Amino acid sequence: MFVIEFITEWVKFHWLWVLIFSVITIIGSLVGVSALMISLPPDYFTRKKHVSSIRHPILRVFLHILKNTFGVAALIAGFIMLFTPGQGILTVFVGVILCDFPGKRNLERKLIGRPFLLSTVNRIRLRYNRPPIVLNDDFYKK
């Protein structure tokens, strides 16, 4: 009970900072999610294997850790945005794309197979003159 009262009082005195932080995170999520969606190749979900073009092992490990860190942050932010203003579903999707874990490809395929998410991603891509995400016929069987 004490924690809830403390948070309530803190927000009362710092409402302007909370508002500024909320606006910044909404704008940041819009820009970040849009940037990732337009940078994906159209055949991203139908490719068999993704190969890194980075050959230096230390740089590859560092970027792998950095990518997963951003992925976890996007997952957490996306789950929060499911209940607050923001693009929760798209941000969770971005987090899944950035993280590496067993079964990732199957989860990505299930998520992008949702008509609402696919149409939203393709609408963002169309706005920036990018070709739509392509899904082959056997995509839905998996």
Residues 132/42, Cβ–Cβ less than 8 Å: yes
pTM: 0.66
pLDDT over 90 (residue 141): no
pLDDT at 18 over 70: yes
CA distance 111 to 141: 14
pLDDT value at position 137? 59
For 122-129, what is the mean pLDDT?
92
Q: Name which of 86, 106, 87, 108 is nearest 97 in CA terms.
A: 108
SS (HEC) of 9-63? HHHHHCHHHHHHHHHHHHHHHHHHHHHHHHHCCCCCCCCCCCCCCCCCHHHHHHH
User: Is residue 29 pLDDT above 80, yes or no?
Assistant: no
Q: What is the pLDDT of residues 39-96, one digit of tens each?
A: 888 888 887 776 677 788 899 899 989 999 999 998 888 888 787 766 788 888 888 8
Question: For residue 106, what is the DSSP state?
Answer: H
